[in-house]
Copies of this chain bind each other. A is one copy, B any other.
Amino acid sequence: MSEFSTDFQADLLRLMQRRRDVRRFRTDPVDEAILRDCLATFSFAPSVGLSEPWRVVRVQSAPARAAALANFTAANARALDGYDGEKARLYSVLKLSGMREAPVQLAVFCDEATAKGAGLGAQTMPETRRYSVVGAIAQFWLAARARGLGLGWVSILDPARLCQDLDIAKDWSLVAYLCIGWPVTESDTPELELAGWERRRQDVPVETR
């Protein structure tokens, strides 16, 4: 029925189970060829109306990295203020980004004004342009993990401030800030579960109409 073997299907499931949001990176560099191979998967991602609205900005220079890290640090401090008691204590000791260590850091944007695709499919749900970018990131993430790379998605950021600090085109909206590198450890269990913040549910909620 499928051109892909049951062994491949099992390995694909295993890859998904092994994919983690990584925040603890080794500092040794990532070979550019490996990064390029992973980035190439963006081209095969689905996109609404074939709009391919993904725009990748590599955050490389010391000033750009410092601005992004300061942004995270401030947003994380504000987030901590929103918790009380035990939850606040636990939050304060969580490691929520690998921005100090990760050798590769990518800010990924959606070009909200792209003419590509002529708006097909995005009239009633324009957010599907951003969803297209997310789908591309999901594929990139799996491709990276298959090569042993770790990826951490940082969302504790003020997007407007990051766009200003990185001098981003006005029609681009931030979708994700990705830290990439070789992980310190491997695990099948999410770090937030190991830390006692939250547990995965055992089922997928499905209703019927």
**A-to-B contact residues, CB < 8 Å:** 1-4, 8-9, 11-13, 15-19, 21, 39-46, 48-52, 54-61, 64, 75, 78-79, 82-83, 87, 91, 94, 96, 107, 116-125, 127-128, 130-131, 134-135, 137-139, 141-143, 145-148, 153, 155-159, 166-167, 174-176, 182, 190, 192-193, 197-209
Contact = CB atoms under 8 A, between A and B. Distances in A.
Given A58-B208, A138-B138, 17 more contacts: A1-B148, A9-B146, A12-B15, A12-B142, A45-B138, A50-B197, A51-B198, A55-B205, A57-B206, A57-B209, A58-B206, A60-B208, A79-B123, A124-B158, A125-B155, A125-B157, A134-B135
A30 to B, nearest CB: 11
Contacts of A141: 46, 135
Given A79-B123, A134-B138, A193-B50, A43 B207 contact: no
Copies in the complex: 2
Q: Which of A3, A55, A118, A120 has the most CB of B within 10 A?
A: A120
Contacts of A43: 200-204
Contacts of A9: 143, 146-147
Contact of A209 (B64, B96, B157): B64
A15 B4 contact: yes
Nearest to A135: B138
Given A50-B199, A116-B198, A205 B56 contact: yes
A191 to B, nearest CB: 9
A148 B3 contact: yes
A75 B124 CA distance: 7
A147 B4 CA distance: 7
